[in-house]
A and B are shown apart, each in its own frame.
Chain A
């Protein structure tokens, strides 16, 4: 059973799970407990009676509900607790000891959860202990209780015997039979009996949550928090796997992740779950080799969908009536099975052709869509380049470097009146490759002598829009200066320091001219997706330009102070990625879910076409969308909730397809269970999007505060579940599933879109990072928030024979300055760039081999930068002083390159450019690396340990 480790294992199997579940609830009692605290005896009594009376009569647990959950817990408690730690702890009152233990074991649910709790008591108590109890319950008040109490003590062990007997009775047998998809509730009922062998219960109890000793150990006033013991996500993003095992037919978590894999059944539960409740969807996530989504062509039958709610057929539908009907899992509607799709059912009610029907066994499938799903015939993929040729662009070399990919293209820097004819301007790449290449070659020379500093961005955009409106497609905008002519002309803003910290601050992060929003809407309407490539070293108003990408499902690439010599490589890789990754055109996405719940808000880069339909002119594997759900009914009666994501799109091959991801999640009545099944990655992803959106309507500080408040509230709620049974003291407790939540919260605070104030990040950079983070898939986001820091010098020095141990060296280190050893060589990788840090005492061999003989000169040259006052100037300087890291002809250098390549391959969506930094080389080291060691205290920001202490303090203030 789950004896050893409560946290993770619980899910996988029904039976095991049960016990587990029960354990956690015990903690809960807490809330009821609070009020009752006064005399122990008093507490005691009430509970038993209430619970008892109910349960005793009806077998179903439910009955017990009406009374508060409280009584329950105590009741059962006696047996367990005593055994466990409880008694010793609570020296004083006799009554108490019994309390706690039972609670834990019973698992009970806090008052709110009726079903679960009740269920529990019944099985447990009634059979064996009836004798004792009945009196108490009947008598109701105190006298009985006392007696019961006293009795219990001596009996201490008695309870135990009772248990075993129960177990057989129940629990185990039935549950297994239940299909995997059954919900929690059913499980709950069953579980009680099994609720576990006593010992197991106890252990579980102790491990039920994780805790950190914050501050005062009794006796000492030393608030020392052991830095090493703090939880860190050094393994990257870990998807809770137990859940997938429980519902093997669910789609892979790379496509859909819920913030908690246990859906609350009532509004009151939702309101006590202070974290976001929702999902993060990445419909086109890249699948590893061999796990591609199967494509199915229903040419003859048409796509099988529920007639009422339009759900697509999926593994969770059930076939009845000898295979002639199927029941929709989302709305329970009984549909007819079309003749061509008919198959007989076998004895267990499964279709006999199941193995030939991927849509009935896999959570992710792709249907080939017939013409009903097309508004117009599929259009050829169109890439349109809009290039800024003003002087700054020419100077930076942007034009030369950016156009290494031959593409269909048009340059238009025309006045808005002129409407080019699409046919004349668009070319077919394969037919006229030569023309395009010639044009690209001549482009730089054409504008070589251009001294025009103005950019007529708005008119050019309009012209591009007119050319593209027939076909739709993807518009790539290369912009190097602030649009200054025609419509959509923008002003320099953000220089006024006085605005920061006031209520007008957020306006800087919003598009200045409504032209951009209107244009974005029009572009979406005509199925044009926009990607912005911004290069300027000066203010280009990314907030306005990025709006175009935001509402057309695109993204913003930002290369501050672009120099083709330095950034060219990054640009060409990222541009190549943008052009070659699998792209879905003219897409719309909808997520359906079961009755009683509804998705209410969506967060990411897209435009809503109707209340729940996301319009995505061009979407690819690097985009994720987050959504929050709410309960429409006060109480969910179903046991399982299903989610179905459907993305209708045109593949690059010209086929119209529907990609469908289906997932199921149990409905629970227990808050503890929700916390246990929480998915930190999805939560952090939603949090970051909410926070970034908040920065668009209020001050940065407000966005950070509201984020912190939610974390604190969630932890407080969780603590309250347990604080009665356990003497938590100053310990910080959190569910195992959320152990990294605080750290990621801190990382979010220090992330580019949210950190600091005016001086910390340039406005453009902040906005660009905001747009980027709004689209990042979970994994990528977590990496950005908590980058990896790897020590590589040992690997480089190893004799070549052992060089294969590549995995071994990928050991991530905590992001603290202490991790950096001055004899070492480290790579810091946040998914967007590498910082390679040379320790002061790093072996000269390494430096020489990696950087070439003149390494000393190169490294020391960087010392020159001094006396730069303004951080922005500094950043620009930094970008320029980038020592090129080229491969030298020696083993070490090759190995380093191999490492970098491997790291890049692990996530190709962005290309990391290496920056070299030497220890002690200020301010470069500080800006590139030290600021990003997020666990450290840096200039006014909080360190990890302090942050935990701070959160803990707030959690404890009620």
Chain B
């Protein structure tokens, strides 16, 4: 069970990194819009973290798949697919020359991403707490409780008894 906890802690930090990156990109874009930043600098800043962002996100998604966390995997899948599409179309980097024309769409896209990451963040946090408390309970009570297993098993027994 310790592995479970370590996994969620890892996810937690990755998620925070993703959140930070999205936030930073958004910030740069709004700075650009407000003329606090020139387009050359803004695009350099953003473009430098786009790929790490994609890789991190893909890694997260993949690790969910490999650990058989289906729900989490499906949750992160759309973004991964979208990233992949952008990358394959070579549209993942901001275009300095046309950045003001694309500014609104780029901002919207990053807002959505930020929102999804926030949602993900709450879920991960929740799972993290559960796995931490499970571990703690296990250790303190020396009882191995497979919460899900027992519940499902209980229900099955109940159903069988009824019929």
Contacts and interface: CB of A to CB of B under 8 A. Distances in A.
B97 A610 contact: no
A8 interface: no
Interface in A496-515: 514
A517 B35 contact: no
A517 B96 contact: yes
B53 interface: no
A521 B97 CA distance: 6
B39 A608 contact: yes
B95 interface: yes
Nearest to B33: A611
A367 to B, nearest CB: 23
Interface string B79-92: 00000000000100
B39 A610 contact: yes
A607 interface: yes
A601 interface: yes
B91 to A, nearest CB: 11
A517 B96 CA distance: 8
A611 B40 contact: no
A525 B42 CA distance: 13
Contact of B100 (A514, A520, A525, A608): A608
* Most A-side CB within 10 Å, residue of B33, B35, B40, B97: B97
Nearest to B97: A551
Nearest to B36: A610
Interface string B2-43: 000000000000000000000000000000110100111000
Interface string B95-111: 11101110100000000
B39 A517 contact: no
Nearest to A601: B101
Contacts of B100: 608, 610-611
Contact of A521 (B90, B93, B96): B96
B101 A521 contact: no
A514 B90 CA distance: 9
Interface residues of B, number: 15
A518 interface: yes
B96 A518 contact: yes
Contact of A520 (B33, B39, B97, B99): B97
A604 to B, nearest CB: 13
Given A517-B97, A601-B101, A525 B40 contact: yes
Contacts of B32: 610
Residue from B32, B33, B39 having most chain A Cβ neighbours under 10 A:
B39
B38 A609 contact: yes
A611 B35 contact: yes
B103 to A, nearest CB: 8
A607 B90 CA distance: 21
Nearest to A607: B97
Interface in A527-553: 547, 551
Interface string A831-860: 000000000000000000000000000000
Contacts of A607: 39, 96-97
A545 to B, nearest CB: 15
Contacts of A601: 101
Contacts of B33: 611
Nearest to A547: B97
Nearest to B100: A608
A517 B95 contact: yes
B72 to A, nearest CB: 35
Contacts of A521: 39-40, 96-97
A178 B35 CA distance: 40
Contacts of A610: 32, 35, 38-39, 100
A759 B90 CA distance: 29
A607 B95 CA distance: 11
A627 to B, nearest CB: 12
Q: Which residue, B32, B33, B93, B96, has most C-beta atoms of chain A within 10 A?
A: B96
Nearest to A525: B40
A635 to B, nearest CB: 24
A609 B32 CA distance: 10
Contacts of A611: 33, 35, 100, 103
Nearest to B35: A610
A521 B93 CA distance: 14
A611 B30 CA distance: 11
A923 B137 CA distance: 91
Contacts of B35: 610-611, 613
Nearest to A606: B97
A607 B39 CA distance: 10
Contacts of A517: 95-97
B65 to A, nearest CB: 32
Interface in B107-152: none
A609 B39 contact: yes
Contacts of B103: 611
A525 B44 CA distance: 13
Nearest to B37: A610
A551 B95 CA distance: 12
Contacts of A608: 39, 99-101
B59 to A, nearest CB: 26
A412 to B, nearest CB: 24
Contacts of A518: 96
A517 B101 CA distance: 15
Interface string A548-585: 00010000000000000000000000000000000000
B92 to A, nearest CB: 11
A423 B101 CA distance: 39
A315 B39 CA distance: 35
A611 B99 CA distance: 9
A514 B40 CA distance: 15
Contacts of B90: 514
A707 to B, nearest CB: 19
Contacts of A520: 97
Nearest to B95: A517
Contacts of B97: 517, 520-521, 547, 551, 607
A591 B103 CA distance: 20
Interface string A478-496: 0000000000000000000
Contacts of A547: 97
Nearest to A520: B97
A770 B155 CA distance: 71
Contacts of B93: 514
A53 B110 CA distance: 54
Nearest to B99: A608
A588 to B, nearest CB: 12
A551 B32 CA distance: 19
A419 B40 CA distance: 23
B112 to A, nearest CB: 22
A184 B145 CA distance: 81
Contacts of B99: 608
A206 to B, nearest CB: 46
Interface string A599-633: 00100000111110100000000000000000000
A429 to B, nearest CB: 32
A610 B100 CA distance: 7
B105 to A, nearest CB: 13
A342 to B, nearest CB: 33
Contacts of B101: 601, 608
A502 B32 CA distance: 36
Interface of B: 32-33, 35, 38-40, 90, 93, 95-97, 99-101, 103
Leading 3 A-B pairs by shortest Cβ distance: A521-B96, A610-B35, A608-B100
15 contacts: A517-B96, A518-B96, A521-B39, A521-B96, A521-B97, A547-B97, A551-B97, A607-B97, A608-B39, A609-B39, A610-B39, A610-B100, A611-B33, A611-B35, A611-B103
Interface of A: 514, 517-518, 520-521, 525, 547, 551, 601, 607-611, 613
Given A607-B96, A607-B97, A611-B35, 20 more contacts: A514-B90, A517-B95, A517-B96, A518-B96, A521-B39, A521-B40, A525-B40, A547-B97, A551-B97, A601-B101, A607-B39, A608-B99, A609-B39, A610-B32, A610-B35, A610-B38, A610-B39, A611-B33, A611-B103, A613-B35
